[in-house]
Chains A and B, each alone.
Chain A
Amino acid sequence: MAEQVTVHRPTLASKVGAALSHPVVFSLVFAFALGWLIVYLTGRDPGFAYSEMLNGAVTGSGLRNTLGRAVPIIGMALAVSVAFRSGVINLGGEGQMVVGGLAGALVAIYTPGPGELVIPLAMVAGGVAGAAWAMLPAFGQTRLRLPILITSLLLNYVARAITGYLVRFHFLDDSVTLTSTRQVPEIARMPRMPIFGGVSLSLALVIVLVAVAWVVYGRTVSGYETQMAGLNGRFARYGGIQVERQTVGVMVVAGTIGGIIGTHMIIGDAYRFIDGELVVSGLAWTGLLVALLAANHPVMILVAGLLFSGLQIGGLAMQRNADVSWRLSQVLQALVIVAVASRLTFGWFKRRRTGPSEGELEPAAVGEV
C-alpha cells in the first residue's frame, strides 16, 4: 500500500512530493516504512509480509471478510465521530455497543414473526438501548459536570458486567458451554447481499448512515450547529446553540449507532450474544482510531474504515502465510495515528533544521470543519 503512492505514479517527483506533503498520506508511508523496518529486523521478508497482507485483505474470502469487518469499524467510527464533531469525547462506544447488542439480540431471539419485522425491530431495540446507555454520561456531564470522557469509559466496564450478569442468570442457553444467549433464529438474522460472496446487508446500512452524516454535516442547520459546538463551545452558546442539549443529542445519536452496530454484530455475525465477545474484539477502539484518522469526516471514515479492516484481516493472512504476527497490524494502525496526530509531514522533516516558528500551529482539532 505504501509503495503505491511512490512507485505506481509514473509522474514527476514533484507530484510524489505533493502527495507526501499530505499529512495522512505521509503518515501511512511513515507507518508502513517503520513496519517494514520492524519486520526486516525480525529476519522476515517485509515485502512478502505486506503482499500477503494485501492479498489476504482483498482476494477470495478475504475481501468478504474485510468488508464484513468494516461494517462495525465504520459504524463505531461514525458513532464516535458524531460525538467528537460536536466536542463530546465519548469513549463509551464499547458499552453502548454491548448494551445495544444484548437488547437487539433479545428482541431478535424472543420476538416471533417474519424477518422483515423482527430484524428492524431488533435494530430499533438495539439503537434505543444504546442511546439510553449513552444518555447516562451525557446527563452526567450536563447535570453533574462529570466529564463524559471519564464516565463513558468507566461505564464500559459496568455495561459489560450488567450484560454479562443478565446473560448468565436470565438468558443463559444451557445447551452450550458458553455464557451465551440462545441462537438468533434463522429467520431473524441479517440477510446477506449477493455480492463478493455474501456480504451482510448491514454494509449497505452503514453506507447509508455515512451518507446521511455527510449530508447532515454539509447541508443542515443541525449539522452546522453541532460542528460549531464542537469547535468552540462559548462561541456556539453565543450563537444561540444550546450546547448542553446538543451534548445529550449527539450522545443519543452516537449511542443509537453504537447500539445498532452491536445488534448487527449479533444478528448479522455471531448469531448469539456471548459475554465478552464484543469487548475482546476491540472494534469500538478500532472505530475510534478510524474516526481520528479520518478527522471525523464521514466519507473519509468509509475509506479509513476499509483500510483498517483490511489491515486487520490482512494481518491475519500475513500471520498465516508469512509468519509475521497480526500484532504488526495493530502497531501499524497506532503508528499511522501517532504520525497524523503529531502532524508529521514531509515538510516537517525538511524544515526541521530551522525549527517550528512560534504560532505556526493552531492546537490540533479533534474535528476540523
Chain B
Amino acid sequence: MTPALELRGITKRFPGVLANDAIDMTVRTGEIHAVVGENGAGKTTLMSILFGLFPADAGEILVRGEPVRFSSALDAIRAGLGMVHQAFRLFPTLTVADNVVFREEPTSRGLIDRSESIRRVGDVAERYGLAVDPTAVIETLPVGVLQRVEILKALYRDAQILILDEPTAVLTPQERDKLFEVIRRLRDTGRTILFITHKLGEVMSLSDRVTVLRDGRSVADLLTADTDPEEIARHMTGRDVDLDQRAPAHQPGEAVLEVTGLSATGEHGRKAFREASFEVRSGEIVGIAGIAGNGQNELIETVAGLRPPDEGSISLNGADITDAEVLTRRSAGMAYVPEDRHGVGTSHRASVWANLLVGHQRDPAFQRKGWFDLRAIRDHARSLIKTYGIRSGPIGAPVSTLSGGNLQKVVVAREMSHGAPLLIAEQPTRGLDIAAIEFIHDRLVRFRDGGGAVLMVSAELSEVLALSSRILVMFDGRIVADLDPSKVTEAGIGLYMTGAHEDGPDG
C-alpha cells in the first residue's frame, strides 16, 4: 500500500541555521504518527514545508505516491492536507463559521451565503463530534473550543492528512482526552494524523509510530509499541535522560506574599477574578492550575503591579504593596517571569544587556544619581550569561538573535539574580525542550531550597504536580481549590479546572 506521505531529503536553511537537514520520513495511511524533538529540532519547520508555507531548499514530497510541489498552503489543502498550528491561527473578531469557511466560502450571487456556511460548519462539527457553535465569535471562546475550530477548519476542507503541532500544550487533561478521542475517531475514518508533541506520555498513549528529530535531522523512526519513553528521550537528546520527577521538599517558613480579597477587571470590563485570598511562604512553591482564561493571568498581573486591583490587598514581607508601583514591588523583593516572554519578558530590538537589566535600572548597584555605572551593568550581564549558560553573541547585540530557550533563560536569569524573596513564574517552561525544562525546574527548586517563595502558574499539570508544595486551582475567576499535590492526580485537578467540583472546594 502506498504511504500517505513520503518526505525525501527535505533540507531547509535559515540564516545561520540548518533547520532541516536531509530529512526522510514515511507516514502510512491511517496511522497516528508522532514527531518529537527538542526545541529547535526542526519540527515546525518540517511541517511548515510540508504544508506549503515555505519552500524547501532541497528534497521532495510525495502524497499518496505522487510527487507534489506546494507553493502555498492552498496547494497543500487541495492535496488533502490540513494543519493545526502550534499557535492558533484564527481571526479573533470573526465568527466560528467565518473562520472555518474562510477561502472556501459558500456564495450565492457573489455574496457570502451565511446561513449556508453556518449549516455546513454545523454539519461537519456534528459528524465528528466536535461541539462548537458556528455563530460564536472567536475571541469569546476558551482554548479548548478554539482547538476544535482549528480541527474543523481542516475537516471542512476534507483533509485526509491532518498535522497537529503541539496541540495539547494548552489543554486540560479532560480536553486533551477529548482531543485524543477525536483523533482516534479520525484515524478510524481512514485519515492520517501527524502529531507533534514534547510529551512522551502522549506519544506512548496515542501514536502508532514515532519519528525523532534532532538538530534538523531525522534520527529515529520507531514503532511505538516497540519502544519506551527513555529510548525516545535518548534519541532526542543524544544522551541518557532521567525522566523521574523530583519529590518536593517541604519546610515552609514565614509568609512572604499575602493576598486578601483581591479582585480586578479584565479586558472587556468583565471581572477577571474575584476575592482571591492566599499566601505564599518562604521555602514553598505554590502552583496555580487552571484553564487559560480563568483569571490566572490577570491575577498574576495584578500581584505584579501591571493591573490595578478593584479591591483587596497585597502584602510582601508584611509591607502593603497593593498600590505600589512596579519598581517599588521589585525593590521590596518581587521577581516575575511573565507568561509572554516575547512581548512582555523581553524587548526583541533591545540589546542583551538592556534586557538583563530591566526592572533594576534604578538599583544603586547600577547607577548613581541617574548616571549609569556601565561597567557594573556589563559585568552583571556577563556573569548572568555565564552562570545560566545563555548562548548569545555579544551583549550589545539585540536579544532577537537568541533562540526561544535562551530567551527564556535571559528572563529567568534576570529575575532570579537579585535575591528577591518572592518569584512569580508564569508558564516558566512553556514550549521549552526537555533539557531546558530540566534546567529551569532545577533552578526553581534550588531557589525554593534557598528559602525563596515561588508562585507558579502553569498549564502543564505534570509540572505543577512535580514542583508544587500546594496547588491552587482557578475556575471562572475564583480560586476553587487548595490541594495537596501528594493527594491528587492530574485527572483530579482537571475536574476542578473545569468547574465540576464547583460546590465542594476544600480550600
Contact = CB atoms under 8 A, between A and B. Distances in A.
B354 A228 contact: yes
Contacts of B327: 240
A235 B14 contact: no
B15 A234 contact: no
A227 B344 CA distance: 15
Interface string A231-252: 1101111111110000000000
Contacts of A232: 343, 346-350
A235 B345 contact: yes
Interface string B179-209: 0000000000000000000000000000000
B186 to A, nearest CB: 30
A219 B345 contact: no
A220 interface: yes
B376 to A, nearest CB: 12
A357 to B, nearest CB: 7
Contacts of A225: 361
Contacts of B304: 238
Interface in B344-390: 344-351, 354, 357-359, 361-362, 367, 370-372, 374
Contacts of A360: 15
Interface in B392-450: 400
A232 B338 CA distance: 15
Interface centre among A240, A358, A365, A369 (most CB of B within 10 A): A240
Contacts of B349: 231-232, 362, 365, 368-369
Contacts, number: 89
A240 B351 contact: no
A238 B336 CA distance: 9
B484 interface: no
Contacts of A221: 361-362, 367, 370-372
A222 interface: yes
Interface string A339-369: 0000000000000000001111010010011
Interface string A54-93: 0000000000000000000000000000000000000000
Nearest to A242: B325
Given A238-B336, A239-B358, A358-B54, A227 B350 contact: yes
B343 A234 contact: yes
A224 interface: yes
A242 B371 CA distance: 19
Contacts of B347: 228, 231-232, 235-236
Nearest to B328: A240
Given A228-B350, A235-B344, A365-B349, A220 B358 contact: no
A264 B348 CA distance: 39
B94 interface: no
A350 to B, nearest CB: 15
Contacts of A220: 367, 370-372
- Central interface residue in A225, A360, A369, by most chain B CB within 10 Å: A369
B357 A219 contact: no
Interface residues of A, number: 27
B470 interface: no
A358 to B, nearest CB: 5
Interface residues of B, number: 35
B306 interface: yes
Contact of A235 (B15, B330, B343, B362): B343
B326 A240 contact: yes
Interface in B314-344: 325-327, 329-330, 336, 338, 340, 343-344
Contacts of B400: 362
Contacts of A237: 306, 326
B358 A235 contact: yes
B344 to A, nearest CB: 5
Given A235-B344, A360-B15, A219 B374 contact: yes
Contacts of A231: 347-350
Contact of B371 (A219, A234, A241): A219
Nearest to A360: B15
Contacts of A365: 349
A238 B350 contact: no
B367 A238 contact: no
Contacts of B338: 238
A232 B343 CA distance: 8
B240 to A, nearest CB: 34
A143 to B, nearest CB: 15
B370 A238 contact: no
B359 A239 contact: yes
A369 B359 contact: no
Interface in A84-134: none
Contacts of B371: 219-221
B357 A240 contact: no
A359 B338 CA distance: 24
Contacts of B370: 220-222
A369 B350 contact: yes
Contact of A224 (B330, B343, B346, B361): B361
Contacts of A222: 370
A241 B372 CA distance: 16
Given A222-B370, A231-B350, A239 B15 contact: no
A360 B54 CA distance: 13
Nearest to B327: A240
A365 B372 CA distance: 25
A359 B346 CA distance: 18
B359 A238 contact: yes
A47 B231 CA distance: 73
Given A231-B347, A232-B350, A237-B326, 17 more contacts: A219-B372, A221-B361, A221-B370, A222-B370, A224-B354, A224-B372, A232-B346, A235-B345, A237-B306, A238-B336, A238-B358, A240-B325, A240-B329, A240-B330, A357-B14, A357-B15, A368-B349
28 contacts: A219-B371, A220-B372, A221-B361, A221-B370, A221-B371, A224-B372, A227-B350, A227-B354, A231-B348, A234-B340, A235-B343, A235-B344, A235-B346, A235-B347, A235-B350, A236-B347, A238-B326, A238-B344, A239-B326, A240-B325, A240-B326, A240-B358, A357-B15, A357-B54, A359-B14, A362-B400, A368-B349, A369-B354
Closest 3 CB pairs of A and B: A239-B358, A240-B327, A240-B326
